[in-house]
A and B are shown apart, each in its own frame.
Chain A
């Protein structure tokens, strides 16, 4: 192998540096570093609001983690430097080994010495008596038939026939490693170094006030449309258009101007029968001075639009300010004066209840609500609960609770309910009030019943009638005496119950009745209360014009029980009214993700090169064989046959054995002739 005469290296600083950068140890260290950082990044949730981290880790660790960049690890300077080192070490590696490998591809090592061949693991030595010309001819053509390329050379005392196949294997190395460099370079271009520097130097300032409307964002946080590389998102309502996107960076955002305007004509969601979303689609119109006519296109998930180097993806959807017609049912007004309200999602509505001002902040509307329900065989089934809307009710002090109300009744155990969920903080889950719905699928009957319960005149009438009925069997003067007390108590019970539900009743009992009699008294109280409310309810049914002479139907009596359950829990509700959605006009917004990625083609190219390179490297093996034929005959020509290979030695050893046998056969030797 005398071609491999290495130039003696002079160990200056440069050489040591190159040696270090191209060393496998550095490569492995860098790869491990990336792997470990990646693990941390998947365990520690990335890019959450800083508030969450402070709660989780406390201020000390939080500051520490911020300074280490652990919340945005993949953007941290040290992680990016690791990637840079990967690029560097791989480049150095290719530059150092590449040229040698290219030479190697065509180097048959024709000057290999007799001794080196004999030292090979795979070899054979023969003495062959034959005509030398035809011996060499035979060897050459046999090795060609075995699929090898041949070079031969007459040396002073021997002829060398050098055979090689799979030289391209070396290209595999170059492709694979160059591909890593190419992909890294593509990523760096995509990463947009100049912008990162501008942020670092303060020329561009990250805006952290999320409530600021786009038009008010200061110029320092707005990037012009000549920015070469970006990736951001924007939400456009149907009928609206946008020419900016928001780039989320660290704990704030930047605004990126687009070189064109995108209008959303229509947004569609298709659903499966089960109600789960099947596809999202947006009809877009691109307005651009460079276009003769606006460009219309439809995008959907997995089918983006590429326009002027910008890829426009369907990413998400949300409400685009749906218009809602609402009716507020007061919960503490005996006269049940309802109030009709027109509102729109993301808009606030001011209203007054008993002169106390409240603000309704409408925050979301959803047309479909697919919820899992338990089915018989405990497999998951889905059911559409229909439209709902979410809002907050804020009082004068600024305190707010959040509500979610459904438009249509939902069936449970054969009964229909209007669902209204409430929670006092975003961290809680909604607790639902199951308001029984009347035959028209409305809350009207419940509201009337509840209002009547708070109407002093009505209550007092029903109470006295109920008590008269209850005491019907007693002697009259005793009856009068008892009934007076009972009247007062019952009216009080009704009013307590209507106002604050079961809690109020329990408190009242705790306060006013000695322990010894409590149990019995409670039973009596509940009995009276129930009878009274029952009569009140029957009044309502009669008002509705129902015929109850045959008794109350099962569903109407279930209604009564359900209504009492609701009122029993009414104290958790918090709002002085219930909002019913009468009608809506659905306006959707499409969440678009827009990216300009100039490194894209480079990355794709790199990926293709990587795959090709790996397959070449693994599956095309570079194999070499040498046949050394002595020029001088002493009882036969001495022939040395040897082979080597740079990987899969085991396979090669087996193949070599077969080639050896076939070659021996071809040369007219029996295998025993081998003096090995």
Chain B
């Protein structure tokens, strides 16, 4: 797998397209077909920007799949299982609705693990968004433990299990979001919206994105030693998610306030969470860096943890990637604000904190590149960066009020 990724390992002089396998082409064909199918079926519900996003997304998926081969399987499985789920699930919801339940109750009844479809195992345990997300939570938690366990054993096996588990957890999360998307329309057609609109949904998104970025680096750097640490943040997010769900009932699908009804949301929020995911990952790599840096030579930590130059490299790449996407997200946010509120920048707390996060990482990048800073100072800084990010992401919603009042705690 990894060999195909290496940009210099392809046969020299061979044009890029010739390096693609049959699977690559089938994948591209399926994605293209899917995009056109959606366009054909739903164009009447989309504005021109959304059509643009649809095809842009298609191209993005093909690009990602060709670049990172493992992601093809993820994308295809998520698509196939989600379609299967929706097809199976929808009539059941409709039937319950016909019995006089409203959409919400019908979905709740089906997501209840003790629902009436006694016979159907898959149906019962996998198909509703709540169950799929439940599986995601469970698998991320378990994978964290196995990744840590893997550090202490010689065998490769637990590590491989943990990796697979992380893939499956991400897939379950994505399926959960896909089904949830459909569920929102099943509740009531005008409530329907993409599930990136409240704190519950973005926490799921955050977990998935962070896990995927991690998996990419795991493949790239051929080490599983970071897994436990990165999944620790994801597990924390999962713990929050569960608390938020069971204590606050935050998983209810709520209609959107008018300001959020815009195609901008479909790109602004995911871009933001790629940024957050990268920053979280960089912080955890920073933690590993500090552990490794302070570990006595020959000790356990020095043996199982990756070398410092590699950690430094992952940390830099991840912050750079996060910075780039966070820039996109902030710019899109400003353009959206200009369209919805009449001003690019209102110094609303959420915006202001986004700026602070951005400046913080800009300073980090400058110090590294122009002053050549390396080592534990940068690692500490990236750990602190996570707290700044966390405040922008959660703290603002908890402590400060402003225009971004979605997802208050």
Name A's B-contacting residues (CB within 8 A): 24, 27-28, 31-32, 34-35, 38-39, 41-43, 46, 74, 142, 145-146, 187, 231, 272-274, 276-280, 300-304, 311, 313, 315, 377-380, 593-595, 597, 600, 603-604, 607, 610-611, 614-615, 618, 647-648, 650-651, 655, 658-659, 662
Contact = CB atoms under 8 A, between A and B. Distances in A.
Contacts of B352: 38-39, 41-42
B200 to A, nearest CB: 13
Contacts of B13: 145
Nearest to B368: A647
A378 B313 CA distance: 49
Contacts of B362: 31
Contact of A304 (B12, B339, B369): B339
B323 interface: yes
A313 B342 contact: yes
Given A274-B255, A300-B258, A301-B261, A611 B347 contact: no
A37 to B, nearest CB: 10
A311 B334 CA distance: 15
A604 B335 contact: yes
Contacts of A593: 341-343
A650 B309 contact: yes
Contacts of B115: none
A594 B255 CA distance: 28
Interface of B: 7-9, 12-13, 188, 190-191, 249, 252, 255, 257-259, 261-262, 264, 309-310, 313, 316-317, 320-321, 323-324, 327-328, 331, 334-335, 338-345, 347, 349, 352-353, 355-356, 359-360, 362-363, 366-367, 369-371, 396, 400
A46 B347 contact: yes
B343 A595 contact: yes
Given A28-B366, A300-B258, A614-B324, A34 B335 contact: no
A149 B122 CA distance: 57
Nearest to A277: B258
A28 B342 contact: no
Given A380-B249, A594-B342, A607 B324 contact: no
B324 A618 contact: yes
Contacts of B328: 611
A595 B342 contact: yes
A301 B259 contact: yes
Given A24-B371, A313-B342, A302 B258 contact: yes
Contacts of B356: 35, 38-39
Contact of A278 (B9, B255, B316, B347): B255
Q: Which 8 A-B pairs have the closest CB atoms?
A: A593-B342, A313-B342, A301-B258, A42-B349, A145-B12, A607-B331, A302-B262, A379-B249
B369 A607 contact: no
A142 B331 CA distance: 42
A31 B359 contact: yes
Nearest to A377: B249
B261 A272 contact: no
B259 A304 contact: no
Nearest to B310: A650
Contacts of A187: 345
B341 A378 contact: no
Contact of A280 (B258, B313, B320, B323): B258
Contacts of B7: 655
B368 to A, nearest CB: 9
Given A46-B347, A315-B342, A380-B249, A38 B355 contact: yes
Given A38-B355, A614-B324, A272 B343 contact: no
A379 B252 contact: yes
